[in-house]
Amino acid sequence: MTPTREEVVDGLVAELRSFKDLIVDLTAEESAKPTRCEAWTVGDLGAHVTGVMADITAGRLEGINTQEWYDRQVRERRGRSPRELADELGTVIIATNELMGSMDQATWDGPGPPGVAGTLGRGVESLWCGIYIHREDVLAALDRPPARGNSLRAAISYIADVLTDRGWGPATLALDGIEEFTIGGGGPSITGDPLVFALVATGRADPGVLSLDESVNIFG
């Protein structure tokens, strides 16, 4: 089931807080570790997440969702300490909460800004999913246990919707510990760890581990 507006907003804000808590006390050595995101370190991912939300809440949307947009955000924050990034992210979290609270349902159901596919609400859901996956990128780089819970469920829901929109499948996601999600009306079951599926579907793990191919990658 697609999350409600309230679930998405609460989930995004909670995920941002978790990301802030993750990066605030990183050492210089930890911040410099490479990640699954090509050419980006742990510190760069902290700058990326902070920069995306800072630009969105400030209305700096020119070039949104392009690599140039992302690279600028990281470049502007290079040299900042993890605590400085976390401090900026703390301010951005407050702005995010205020921005989301100012939207009525018609705005939420209306189109996103140029460069964002689907409704504005779908765009916010994609932010929740993306920030969760980047928290996983950081945790993996630091050899820390993965996070699961509500954000993982939301990521699977979002991925299922994107794959349906793309005409992938049909399939049924019958993954461990969460309810089933259908793709394209439902079809053969895909089973296993939902985190593994999320990593496969975002180009971070070999799709062969789930007997799938590269077409499942929503960023492919």
Task: Say whether 62 sits in a helix, a strand or coil.
Answer: coil
pLDDT in tens, 166-187: 999 999 999 999 999 999 999 9
Q: What is the pTM of this model?
A: 0.95
Query: Do residues 131 and 150 make contact, with C-beta atoms less than 8 angstroms apart?
Result: no
- Rounded to whole angstroms, how far apart are CA atoms 190 and 157? 14
- Rounded to whole angstroms, how far apart are CA atoms 140 and 99? 31
Q: Residue 41 forms beta bridges with which residues? A: 34
pLDDT in tens, 194-218: 999 999 999 999 999 999 999 999 9
CB contact burial 44-76 (16+ within 10 A = b; e otherwise): bbbbbbbbbbbbbbeeeeeebbeeebbeebbee
Where are the domains positioned within the chain?
5-147, 159-216
Nearest-5° Cα angle at 89, 94 to 93: 20
Domain range 5-147, CATH architecture: Up-down Bundle (1.20)
